[in-house]
Chains A and B, each alone.
Chain A
Amino acid sequence: MKILKNSLLLVVIGYMAWMMFNLYKDYDSRTALNDTASYYAEIGPDETGAANLVTSVVVTYRGLDTLGEVTILFLTAAIIGLLLRTEKGSRLVPLRASSEFLITAARVLIPMITLIGVYIFINGHLTPGGGFQGGAVLASTFILLLISISNKKLGHRVLEFTEAISGFSFVLIGILGIILASGFLDNHILPLGKFGTLFSAGAIPVIYSLIGLKVGAELSTIILEFNQIQGKEDEVS
């Protein structure tokens, strides 16, 4: 039986390898961009005013997809919160205190990493990165904060407030685009400004900062949920 299973696995892996090899054999790299890509590359910078083409695609041309991604992330955070909900009567076991090295290092590093995260999403229209990347960096700061103050209780309030306000403003700016400019999430509601400066590209920096705050708050909420089940033990189980 085991031999049968292994030989079957071998056949499947062999088939996959043959399939991949055929893909590789016929591959020759493109020398020119295809129609959609060349449209974005040629007209994009003038139309949106963003120096980073990826950002102009993610926030303006495919802005609705970004809204969907943020919604999926919000649903994930909400479902994790629902599944990890602990009972009120559960008993709290104190965790081991963090070491002095960790606390001191965290005090130095947390402001710097936060600054990098904010830089990444504010400069999303100029340099690589943007809301999602900056938000993820902010959430990694939050991990450092949590492991350096292991026994203090942190409230959900600020995170929930940030997430709600930034998500609401994101949709509101999108709707403003319908009223003031040509469509949902259009960035022309603010003046385009000088190409390549911080205050340029219309509403893109504002939208990306809101996305950054929202993603950071959501990922931090997920981490906080996991952190809060650590010291708790359910009486029943």
Chain B
Amino acid sequence: MIQTILIILISVVMLVMAFVAIYHKNLQVAVIASGIISLFASVAYIFLAAPDVAITEASIGSVLTVAIFFYVLNKIRHEDIKK
């Protein structure tokens, strides 16, 4: 029962973060929101008894992807300032 409630809570947080990632004006906030989706997805995978998928999701989805997005965002901002 507690597990079901927790999974529903996690799903609600993921949905809210997905909308933030799409509609927020500030791109940095949007990228961080997409990282939070992955973080909560990895918790959900642990509840669904898939710990190795959870490790992958936590390290690739919420660290590597966010880092690459920030590198690209930084590069784009520099190009904008120059023009």
Contacts and interface: CB of A to CB of B under 8 A. Distances in A.
Interface of A: 54, 120, 128-130, 132-133, 136-137, 139-140, 143, 219, 222-223, 226-227, 229-230, 233, 237
- In the A-B complex, list the 10 residue pairs whose CB atoms are closest, starting with the nearest: A128-B51, A136-B59, A226-B71, A133-B55, A140-B63, A128-B52, A143-B67, A129-B52, A136-B60, A129-B55
Interface of B: 51-52, 55-56, 59-60, 63-64, 67-68, 71-72, 74-75, 78-79, 82
Given A133-B59, A139-B59, A226-B71, A54 B64 contact: no
A129 B51 contact: yes
B67 A128 contact: no
Contacts of B78: 233
16 contacts: A128-B52, A129-B51, A130-B52, A132-B56, A133-B52, A136-B64, A137-B55, A139-B59, A140-B63, A140-B64, A143-B64, A226-B71, A229-B75, A230-B74, A233-B78, A233-B82
Contacts of A120: 55
Contacts of B60: 136
Contacts of A222: 68
Contacts of A54: 52
Given A130-B52, A233-B78, A140 B59 contact: yes
A15 B67 CA distance: 37
Contacts of A140: 59, 63-64
A93 to B, nearest CB: 8
B59 A226 contact: no
A223 B64 contact: yes
Contacts of A132: 56
Given A230-B71, A230-B74, A139 B64 contact: yes
